[in-house]
Amino acid sequence: MKLIEVVKSHNRWRRFECINLIASENVMSPLAESAYLTDMMHRYAEGRPGKRYYQGTKFVDIVELMVSELLSTLLNVNFVEPRPVSGTIANATVFRVLGDPGDRALIAPVQAGAHVSHTKFGTLGALGIEHVEMPFDRDVWNIDVDKAKKMIYEMKPKFVTLGASVYLFPHPTKDIVDAAHEVGAFVVHDVAHVLGLIVGKRWPNPIHEGADVCTSSTHKTFPGPQGGVIFTNDNELYKSISRVIFPWFISNHHLHRLPALAVTAIEMKYFGEDYADQIVRNAKAFAESLSSEGFEVLAENMGFTKSHMIVVDVTKLGGGSKVADELESANIIVNKNLLPWDPPDAVKNPSGIRLGTQEMTRYGAVESDFKEIARFMRELLVERKDVREIRKKVMEFRSNFNEVKYAFKVGHDLMESIKASLTL
């Protein structure tokens, strides 16, 4: 198969034939995609706007400052650093600023959803910083606040990391901040998964709850280009972060992200609250439907979820790897995931799968549509119907969701809206 044919096959399959439930993915609008494919992808702009080490960046500088201003306004924060090329690089930058090799950081438990970059297995370990896991309370599907505060007082870590890749409910930011600040520790909150929910006012902004700094990616519930961002209200911390991001962790910061990120930010200004609201309502409806179809959806006592995300224990169905493979064969895309009671070596076949509603919501799916997806999953995994039959149903269903919603439509109204928004 030729290269272009492979790419076309991928585009057709993932964009028009699959139900994508990966919680860490999303799609840009056609306008943002157009802004992504610009000459900026060929250029370098080391340094900061107005203080570059390359010539030819005068328009890049304008766009980068625009991105920072747009995100600062959306998030109601003072300082935004848009140069990280991923959420992991954003984390690496902040961890390096706040800690030295040999220091300790408290993190959310790995099996309860901490991102690999928070751990000794990833970025934190690469920086030589020891990770110590805070206890997890399964009854509330969250960090055990009392035990975590006790650990903070006893260990006096350099910083505490909140946020996760399995993120059903807001972490107890204020309680952790109060304890951490008493012992001189910083609080880093990774909001990669919920940035769009924060912008859409369906999730608390940790900075407003006292966190010192937030890190994020820009392509999950916030439907922009793949990349990262850091934001804070602390001027001195912001200056330190900006000095470390370049030249320690990036050289050029993939400039074509910036206009696409600006377009997405403007779209979220207009449509973000409606989008975030529908994401959360869809997740709730999806969880309830899966439960009624016989699946073991976790955190039922807490109402399943307050985010875009759902976690299902599929141990009785063969485990996460088997179930994810079976669903993919029917064009339903999910990922396997560790659950709090899994041993660390269960990563290859953990007990759970993780589901997200943000991409199908972006294509216009509502509560009743997610009920239908739950039925597809029951027919395949519980009733053991022919995968070819389910795949055909999935493709027919997906054919109704090909237009990106919560975005500007091309035309005169679009141009007028953009002109108004670009006048900062």
Residue 251 confidence (pLDDT) above 50: yes
pLDDT on residue 118 = 87
* Cross-strand partners of 142: 137
Two structure tokens written together for 319: 């485990």
| Residue 88 lies inside a defined structural domain of this protein | yes
Cis peptide before 135 (omega within 30 of 0): no
CA distance 271 to 198: 13
| Residue 371 lies inside a defined structural domain of this protein | no
| Verdict on whether the full-model pTM lies above 0.85 | yes
Residue 422 confidence (pLDDT) above 70: no
| Residue 308 lies inside a defined structural domain of this protein | no
What average pLDDT does the segment 299-304 reach? 96
| CB neighbour class for 343 (10 Å; exposed up to 12, middle 13-18, buried from 19) | exposed
321 half-sphere exposure, CB direction, 13 A CA radius: 5
Range of the domain at 49: 30-264
| Residue 162 lies inside a defined structural domain of this protein | yes
pLDDT on residue 424 = 46
pLDDT on residue 49 = 94
Q: What b/e string do you get for 409-424 counting C-beta neighbours within 10 Å, with b at 16 or more?
A: eeeeeeeebbeebeee
CATH number, residue 85: 3.40.640.10
* Cross-strand partners of 333: 20
CA distance 145 to 179: 10
Two structure tokens written together for 43: 């250029």
CA distance 271 to 364: 13
| Residue 63 lies inside a defined structural domain of this protein | yes
Contact 84, 250 (CB under 8 A): yes
Residue pLDDT, tens place only, 383-409: 999 999 999 999 999 999 999 999 987
Residue pLDDT, tens place only, 106-126: 999 887 788 888 888 889 999
| Residue 192 lies inside a defined structural domain of this protein | yes
Two structure tokens written together for 287: 């969880």
Number of independent structural domains in the chain: 1
pLDDT on residue 420 = 61
| Residue 276 lies inside a defined structural domain of this protein | no
pLDDT on residue 48 = 93
| Residue 124 lies inside a defined structural domain of this protein | yes
